[in-house]
Structure 1
């Protein structure tokens, strides 16, 4: 096959090679006037290899779920149709190792009746993958190779089993036993249209058979609570070590955050990155010049253009900052050395009603260059481990003490809500050494609620504008990024403030609030002439 070779060294064994061979031998390329064997692009082939990866010790499939997120027109529907055909007919079930130590598989029909489902929240969505699936089977050798294979308009009869598309309510899907499901356009699967319930039901059914699923979203809108957003949150937990299971393959590609829609060279480079080898310059079929024309059409909303064509996860209508704006300031390679001159910002919580506990965050900002970094964020763990969880006060106090020992802290602003006594202790212990003070009476206390609306609005706007104008950098830690992107704009008499999407939302913003305080403290330090240059030194690890 054209993708075999040193580009895929394969740290994990995979059944993907045999699956790719089967696709090329049995399936036709859709949307052709004459038969052509199916050949995936290298990028598509890489996804297949990863999806069918095996644990070396057990020989079992590594991933039970996959997410393939690409811009419109990249070719998600054909590859998912091909994988659905393979799950129905090809040897995709691990069956040990051959004499050379290579993995071998067997078809689902030797284990149970194969039942494959293509699911969406509307019939129009299911047609995305259903139409190419029928062409692949009808025009390819598979229809002659497998006796009893009947690709009909609304379902496919298998020699044993069935392929079908489903759009009905989730309750009617309960109890089915599929071995593979495609969840198409999950950025549109929300609670209001039954999508989240349908996804949960399909996954429960797959759990009964040991089956797998793949989602194929475009960029989702944060805050809508879509299935695609939930899967992205799951992937973040895996990356941050907060998930108890890592059986999710998350393959998302988007244009760089600095892509400028108004600059032709920048836009062309961003599109080329997002579309990869599906773009014409790389031998694909996507005409990037035509996409530029569509993006520049006055009827095209810029946010939709970023989502559809650049695959950028932008922002909800009431988001405080967008993902591209925040990502453009990321500088995880920057180091904060021991002894550097910094300021701190703190937002704390203790315990809330209904089992929902806000996070507690301690953020730092280097005075010389405005590099914002996470000192520590304490968050309620997911699942049973989070039952009855409270912020570990002793750890928080130790972390603050450690920060004053490690760095030259010249300012520290902290919201005292629920931490009044501890902040009073910090003021007694450290207030005298601070060169930047909230007030002479209370050098650390900086209320983010109450009768200080004008000051809160100014501080919030200052951090927002610094991000948009790229006047700061940040460490790009997972918790900090999540909290900033969770923050929602709320109009007050004095102006824009930030809040959670609703008071009991599990999506925290405490690190964002602490960052507002740290940034304001730095601005006050600069106003006092605190511009000491930093020396290089030890690396600070998040």
Structure 2
């Protein structure tokens, strides 16, 4: 059925997503700026020594300046607030020129804290005494994008004062004490280097196949030496490629989830609303918002590119709207899942719920998901997932902890049904059925009230999955924005069979888990059965369970 086109007012109301302190405002509506930063001094230094495209002194746009102020923000001890960062913007925004300027700042500018000004109590910056700046990428054309801009930025005074000896891939300053170089793909060539600042160029192209992952790991390792930092610039990445850009975004979202330690990490992005239509009328309204201060981006030219049928819609969204759009075999994109989000949802003790459980042992996660009967609101009760890095070695889920959480859930809520995949957890599921089966309003197929064998009946599982998909795509199932659930849902891939559309991981050994999605499907199927064939039950009195 055709949908009614959005009005100009409705399109204008589709606010972009803003990530990073660059976009924070104070209660009065003014931009939030760091208390202490070297950025103001750096802006003055750039105006004195660097040239703009028109030959005049370099001047940051307000948007660029806010980013610089935050990137060079320091704490009361003079230490940088951020050790690493990501600047994600649409194509043509000007990431390369901005970072070319910052590379020169890092080469000879006031890029490191020296002392506090006794009169103003403001931080004072000095050049790094042994600056070693690298522009890194996985192919030469990417480094050329930045390095080719540098000669035009350097004024005659800059070259004279800092004794510049420039070249295409290596620039030396201060008699060779400071250096700026381009490096491509050779992670071995940069391993162990005492770099002071590294630019990671176009990390959406850094994948395992071109040594992008090894480059990134080497750069991060080098950054632990001295007072080193690194900054990545990227367009919106293609989900599923497992690029460095995707890994850095996943790391950032894990911090937001609380699944990773809160480290000094600046992530700055502005992304169009998922519902933005690719029509000329909508693009004329939205592109000026997404481009920020990059007024040089021609809206008419962008519209022509978007309307060119030889360019896929998903690519246009990534390039010009800075949207992270899922690959072709993904079940859902961020937009479909976002449409189901209700930020005010809270699961309260005593709520009537159904449960879905998908258990793993070592590699696969173990997930317990609830759906509230009254409004089809999904909640993650708990997730046990193998930690990343060394902590994940020899990891195995604590089965008794999971068992205790299941019993606790039955005590806290009015559980009407529970479907649990039997794989690896059959004995526990038998115990849960013995403890609670008689009080359930609907029981799983077979002799066990809770056991639901996802692998035993492909047809039944496929039909259950298609019912879940309809509820999500119609936004009948809602959620509170849980980031772990979002991650597992967006990881799910299309798997067709003789009975219809099912799901799976992108590959058997993929680290991108889907277990919360599997648990969500089981809970949804339990709710479907409850509504179609459930019986009325007396409210559970709450027989206690103790470990």
* TM-score bin, normalised by smaller chain: 0.7 to 0.9
Q: Which residue, 477, 480, 484 being the options, matches 1:479?
A: 484
Residue 157 of structure 1 corresponds to which residue in structure 2? 172
User: 1:11: how far off?
Assistant: 4.8
Residue 158 of structure 2 corresponds to which residue in structure 1? 142
1:271 and 2:287 matched: yes
Contact residue 64 and residue 247 of structure 1 kept, 8 A: yes
Residue 526 of structure 2 corresponds to which residue in structure 1? 521
Q: Which residue, 196, 205, 208 being the options, matches 2:225?
A: 208
* Residues 216-257 of structure 1: CA deviation (Å, up to 9, x unaligned): 111112222211112112212222233346022111221112
Partner of 1:214, secondary structure, is strand
Residue 395 of structure 1 corresponds to which residue in structure 2? 401
1:463 and 2:463 matched: no
Report which stretch shifted further, 299-308 or 175-184. 175-184
Residue 346 of structure 2 corresponds to which residue in structure 1? 335
Contact residue 108 and residue 178 of structure 2 kept, 8 A: no
User: 1:210: how far off?
Assistant: 2.6
Residue 452 of structure 2 corresponds to which residue in structure 1? 446
Partner of 1:295, secondary structure, is helix
1:298 and 2:309 matched: yes
Aligned counterparts, 1:179-190, within 5 A: 179-190=196-207
Size of the aligned set, in residue pairs, is 508
Residue 86 of structure 1 corresponds to which residue in structure 2? 105
* Residues 347-369 of structure 1: CA deviation (Å, up to 9, x unaligned): 11123xxxxx2211111112232
Q: Which residue, 214, 217, 223 being the options, matches 2:234?
A: 217
Partner of 2:271, secondary structure, is coil
CA distance in 1, matches of 2:451, 2:224: 51
1:178 and 2:195 matched: yes
- Structure 1 segments, 4+ long, off by >6 Å, are none
CA distance in 1, matches of 2:65, 2:397: 46
Residue 249 of structure 2 corresponds to which residue in structure 1? 232
Residue 539 of structure 1 corresponds to which residue in structure 2? none
Partner of 1:490, secondary structure, is strand
* Residues 472-529 of structure 1: CA deviation (Å, up to 9, x unaligned): 2212212111111222223333333222223232221110110111122222233348
Distance 1:151 1:401, change over 3 A: same
Aligned counterparts, 1:17-416, within 5 A: 17-30=40-53, 32=54, 35-56=55-76, 58-99=77-118, 100-109=120-129, 112=130, 114-138=131-155, 141-144=157-160, 146-159=161-174, 160-244=177-261, 246-262=263-279, 264-265=281-282, 267-278=283-294, 284-351=295-362, 357-416=363-422
- Normalised TM-score (structure 2): 0.87
Distance 1:333 1:292, change over 3 A: farther
1:510 and 2:526 matched: no
Distance 1:466 1:41, change over 3 A: farther
Distance 1:141 1:258, change over 3 A: farther
Partner of 2:459, secondary structure, is helix
Partner of 1:209, secondary structure, is coil
Unaligned 5+ residue runs, structure 2?
Answer: 1-22, 537-547
Residue 540 of structure 1 corresponds to which residue in structure 2? none
* Residues 335-389 of structure 1: CA deviation (Å, up to 9, x unaligned): 23333222111111123xxxxx221111111223222111111112233333332
Distance 1:529 1:413, change over 3 A: closer
CA distance in 2, matches of 1:343, 1:213: 47
* Residues 412-434 of structure 1: CA deviation (Å, up to 9, x unaligned): 11111111111112212222222
Residue 17 of structure 2 corresponds to which residue in structure 1? none
User: 1:530: how far off?
Assistant: 9.0
User: 1:141: how far off?
Assistant: 4.8
Partner of 2:268, secondary structure, is strand
Contact residue 463 and residue 499 of structure 2 kept, 8 A: no
Residue 11 of structure 2 corresponds to which residue in structure 1? none
User: 1:268: how far off?
Assistant: 4.3
CA distance in 1, matches of 2:168, 2:535: 73
* Residues 418-477 of structure 1: CA deviation (Å, up to 9, x unaligned): 111111122122222222222363222111113x11111122222223323322221221
Residue 19 of structure 2 corresponds to which residue in structure 1? none
Contact residue 253 and residue 311 of structure 1 kept, 8 A: yes
